[in-house]
Amino acid sequence: MITHAITAGQLTEFAADVRAGLTKPVQKELPSKYLYDRIGSTLFEVISELPEYGLTRADERLLRRHAREIAARVPRPVSVAELGSGSGKKTRWILEALSGPQRTFYYPIEISPAALAEVERELGRMDSISIVGLEREYLDGLLEAAARRQPGGHLMVLFLGSTIGNFDRPQGLEFLRQVRQLLLPGDSLLLGTDLEKPVPQLLDAYDDPLGVTAAFNLNLLARVNRELDAGFNLRRFAHSARFNPEARSVEMHLRSIERQSVDIPRAEIQIEIAKDETIWTESSHKYAPDEVDAMAGQSGFCCDAQWIDREWPFAESLLIAE
């Protein structure tokens, strides 16, 4: 139920997105990017250490083992722009492999100032690396990083983890096309993708027995309370992870355990939530290795090389802008 007819332009971006997502007629949603405030980012760091969640460790193993091989395929001088850097911890392997007598400029792109502060703490003392944090959305930040490239220099974009999996497949392909439009021929994109694996293994990864992922998900409602003066009672919601076979994705939801009404004053809405109705907070799409090559070709890249972790099926693919 919308209590005031105001435009999204009169709201903060967060309030506007919350308003739009929670008033959708069929499935209420909250954008996954808002999971990563200071508390959410800290909780995700814990998730990445859980035995059930092998994705981050697979990502790090590939970067650690193959960083020099990856760097050898990248022309110099090079600037590095990372979309959604997080703390930057796993990026160290790539930056060390790229470092040389010339300074390498590293542009972590994050909407979270807390994450950018973590990058500075994690990587700020690296020799020959200059860090320029960009508190921007992905494409806005990449546009700025591209504008700062060294004359005649190469731009390498990192999109690690499996953040591309937060988009559905058509959206992911469109996003790669938009990235390509900001690059020059010969620039590169190192893309992380989580690969298909047994459904029980996936569900354990997104609904761990310690309840850390549940706390991470519920923190999104707590953030709406903190920043938009909402009245969500977190005890009235339960974390839910489910596999969508058609989309080949794991979905995270917050399920209402009873019928309730919630005011969100700074978004100028009041919502009604039925018992067992959910708020969809994140999707994580899983891929087959050859899908990456197909996506590259359809978005203006070619897949130059691919490395796969077998312990937790995960791929790093080096795409070259054509």
pLDDT of residue 8: 42
pLDDT > 90? residue 3: no
SS3 of residue 196 by DSSP: coil
Query: Per-residue pLDDT averaged across 102-112, rounded?
Result: 91
Measured over the CA atoms of residue 301, residue 302, residue 305 and residue 311, the dihedral's sign is: positive
For the chain, the 3-state helix, strand and coil shares in percent, each to the nearest 5, are 40, 25, 30
Residues 182 and 307 in one domain: yes
* One domain, residues 276 and 291: no
Mean pLDDT of 61-70: 98
Residue 37 lies in a domain: no
- What does the pLDDT average to over 72-84? 96
Is 258 inside a domain boundary?
A: yes
| CA atoms 217, 222, 226, 232: torsion sign | positive
In a domain, 17, yes or no: yes
pLDDT of residue 140: 96
Residue 71 pLDDT greater than 80, yes or no: yes
Do 61 and 160 have their domain in common?
A: yes
Read off φ and ψ for residue 244, nearest 5 degrees.
Answer: -100, 100
What is the band of 10 on the pLDDT scale with cuts at 50, 70, 90? very low
Q: Which pLDDT tens digit goes with each residue over 202-242?
A: 999 999 999 999 999 999 999 999 999 999 999 999 999 99
Whether 249 and 158 share a structural domain: no
Same domain for 65 and 173? yes
**For residue 246, is it within any domain?**
yes
- In the predicted model, is pLDDT for residue 103 greater than 90? no
What separation in angstroms does the CA of 264 have from each of 19, 43, 228, 261, 275?
Answer: 9, 25, 6, 10, 19
What total number of domains does the chain contain? 2
Q: Which residues contact 145 (CB under 8 A, 6 or more apart)?
A: 79, 81, 107, 109, 132, 134, 155
Closest CA to 221 of 192, 257, 262, 250: 262
Are residue 90 and residue 168 in the same domain, yes or no? yes
Q: Which residues of 61-93 are buried (b: 16+ CB within 10 A; e: fewer)?
A: bbbeebbeebbeebeebbbbbbbbbbbbbbbbb
Give the C-alpha separation, 233 to 132, whole Å.
39
pLDDT level of residue 9 (50, 70, 90 thresholds): very low
Tokens, residue 162: 């499996």
Report if residue 42 sits inside a domain: no
The reported pLDDT for the residue numbered 11 is 63
For helices 113-123 and 38-47, angle between their N-to-C axes, nearest 10 degrees: 50
Other beta carbons less than 10 A from residue 273's beta carbon? 21
In this structure, are 146 and 77 located in the same domain? yes
Kindly report which listed range (103-107, 241-245, 314-318) carries the lowest average pLDDT score: 103-107
**Same domain? 149 vs 297:** yes
In a domain, 40, yes or no: no
Give me the pLDDT at residue 41, please. 87
The β-bridge partners of 272 are 261
List Cβ neighbours of 129 (8 Å cut-off, separation of 6 or more).
Answer: 95, 99, 103, 104, 106, 123
* Across 111-115, average pLDDT: 84
- 92 falls within a domain: yes
Q: Residue 287's closest CA among 162, 138, 158?
A: 162
269 shares its domain with 310? no
> How much is the pLDDT for 4?
32
Q: Specify the 3-state DSSP secondary structure of 17.
A: helix
Structural domain boundaries enclosing 165: 55-197+286-321
Residue 50 pLDDT greater than 90, yes or no: yes
CATH of the domain at 123: 3.40.50.150
**Residue 164 belongs to a domain:** yes
| H or E element that contains 130 | strand 129-131
Same domain, 140 and 171: yes
Whether the per-residue pLDDT at 7 is higher than 80: the answer is no
pTM exceeds 0.85, yes or no:
yes
Distance in angstroms (rounded) separating the CA atoms of residues 171 and 225:
29
Tell me, yes or no, whether 294 and 278 share the same domain: no
Q: Do 236 and 186 belong to one domain?
A: no
**Helix 212-228 crosses helix 38-47 at what angle (to 10 degrees)?**
170
For every residue of 247-312, DSSP letters joined together read: TTEEEEEEEESS-EEEEEGGGTEEEEE-TT-EEEEEEEE-B-HHHHHHHHHHTTEEEEEEEEETTT
